[in-house]
Structure 1
Amino acid sequence: MTFTLATWNINSVRLREGLVARLMAEESPDIICLQECKSPVEKIPVEQFQALGYRYMVARGEKGYNGVAILSKLPLMDAGERDFAAMGHARHVAARLENGVTIHNCYVPAGGDIPDRELNPKFGQKLDFLTDMREWCRWDKPDRSILVGDLNIAPREDDVWSHKALLKIVSHTPVEVEHLNQVMEAGSWQDITRKDIPEGLLYSWWSYRAADWDAADKGRRLDHIWASPDIANAAHSSRILRPVRGWLQPSDHVPVFATFDL
């Protein structure tokens, strides 16, 4: 089986239903993993997606916040969810394909603006979420698994527009990067995007605050596709669809793609 997978923080699936449909029509990935859906599952607008061939969905949602969904042309079954750090948020869902591959769709908390858990409880929640992810990977070693999502951390120096300028900015601080690296190491996860594109600046997010995001180009690579080591070599053709950031009423994130031969 060969399939192409995309991950995208859509920042409201109901508000941007048309953008999801456009991606489906123009790029036609077999599987699309969405984060920050901001919708109860029963209100996700599935009719248009089904008409475009995405007949299967596994999702977790809540009104106005968070939410993760896996939309697929390929049959898949619900494989549960984990409530990392016992936050009670819809931030993880898993689905299993007929070939036994499990896809984990994750939305790590952003962590607020101040990188100090004493001054900013949201930052502490983010670190606790990652610690819980690490322990899950350590005790439940993933196999034939793909983990994708908005992990809200740009780990490498070339994953941000300026390593020096962002060292004290949430999403690129050393403590966050270390926590993310521990999750990767605990599960022996392989960063598929960087396996395919090992060098150079690479971004998947540009702030809404920039008057001209494209000209300023102050991006960060917050969205990731990982694979367990037993299937990592089956992945290829990674790409990030930068032009999507310029679509009408866009998300501040763009889709990240990879293809797997399994």
Structure 2
Amino acid sequence: MSFTLATWNINSVRLREDIVAKLMADEAPDVLCLQECKSPVEKIPQEQFQSLGYTHMVARGQKGYNGVAIFSKIPMVEAGAEDYANLGHARHIAGKLENGVTVHNFYVPAGGDVADREVNEKFGQKLDYLAEMRDAFHKDAPKKSILVGDLNIAPREDDVWDHKKLLKVVSHTPVEVEALAEVQDAGAWVDVTRTDIPDGKLYSWWSYRAKDWDVADKGRRLDHVWATPDIAGAAHGSRVLRDARGWEKPSDHAPVFATFDL
């Protein structure tokens, strides 16, 4: 069975229903994971998505904040949702596909603007969230699983437009990069995107503040696709749909894709 998966921080699924539908129609991933849906589950606009073949959905939602959802053409059942760090936020949902693969969809806290938990509570929450992810994967080693989402960290030097300038900027600080590496190591997760695209600058996010985002190209790779070692070798075809950042009323993130032959 071959299937293509995409992950996308949509920054309001209701506000951007039309470009979600455009992605579904034009690119037709079998599984689409969305973050920052900013909607209660019952108000997620499913009708148009179902008409495009996405008849299965698992989700956790909140009014105007956070929220994660997985839409699938492949039969899927919910496989859990965790509230790491007890934040009371809708930041994780898991779905199990009929082929036995579990897909974890995460929206890791952004962490605010100051990389110091003593003066910035949000940064502390981010580090606590990552620590609990790490501990959970140590305790229960994942198998036949894919982890995707807006992890809000660009770990490699070539995942940001300027490594030195961003070393003290939240999303690329050494403490965050180390915390993410510990999560990855705990689950023995393989970075599918960078396995497929090992070299060169690669971004999935460009700030709304930059009107000339495409020309300036000051991006970061905040969105990730990982897989457990037992299925990572089946992954290929990774790509970032950069053009989506320029669609009408876009998200500041672009979708990231990978295909798995299982």
Taking structure 2 as the reference length, what is the TM-score of the superposition?
1.00
1:161-187 Cα offsets, whole Å, 9 max, x none, are 000000000000000000000000000
1:76-134 Cα offsets, whole Å, 9 max, x none, are 00101011111110000000011111000000000000000001000000000000000
Match of 2:148 in 1: 148
Match of 2:186 in 1: 186
2 CA distance for matches of 1:122 and 1:203?
A: 24
1 CA distance for matches of 2:211 and 2:149?
A: 26
1:254 equivalent in alignment to 2:254: yes
1:33 equivalent in alignment to 2:33: yes
1 CA distance for matches of 2:178 and 2:186?
A: 12
1 CA distance for matches of 2:15 and 2:99?
A: 34
Match of 1:74 in 2: 74
1:138 equivalent in alignment to 2:104: no
1:106 equivalent in alignment to 2:85: no
Q: Secondary structure at the match of 1:231?
A: helix
- 1:84 partner letter: Y
Match of 2:168 in 1: 168
4+ runs deviating over 3 angstroms? none
5+ unaligned residues in a row in structure 2: which ranges? Answer: none
1:3-152 to 2 correspondences below 5 Å:
3-152=3-152
Identity %: 74
- Structure 1 residue 215, shift from structure 2 partner: 1.0
- Structure 1 residue 63, shift from structure 2 partner: 0.4
1 CA distance for matches of 2:145 and 2:211?
A: 39
Q: How many correspondences in the alignment?
A: 262
1:41-70 Cα offsets, whole Å, 9 max, x none, are 000000000000000000000100000000
Match of 2:205 in 1: 205
2 CA distance for matches of 1:248 and 1:82?
A: 33
- 2:234 partner letter: A
- 1:32 partner letter: L
2 CA distance for matches of 1:156 and 1:62?
A: 32
Q: Secondary structure at the match of 2:229?
A: coil
2 CA distance for matches of 1:219 and 1:180?
A: 19
2 CA distance for matches of 1:15 and 1:89?
A: 20
1:242 equivalent in alignment to 2:256: no
- 1:110 partner letter: A
2 CA distance for matches of 1:95 and 1:202?
A: 28
Q: Secondary structure at the match of 1:258?
A: strand
2 CA distance for matches of 1:20 and 1:259?
A: 19
Q: Secondary structure at the match of 1:230?
A: helix
Q: Secondary structure at the match of 1:172?
A: coil
2 CA distance for matches of 1:189 and 1:248?
A: 35
- 1:235 partner letter: A
5+ unaligned residues in a row in structure 1: which ranges? Answer: none
- 1:22 partner letter: K
- 1:155 partner letter: P
2 CA distance for matches of 1:248 and 1:94?
A: 30
Q: Secondary structure at the match of 2:20?
A: helix
- 2:146 partner letter: I
- Structure 1 residue 211, shift from structure 2 partner: 2.2
Q: CA RMSD in A?
A: 0.4
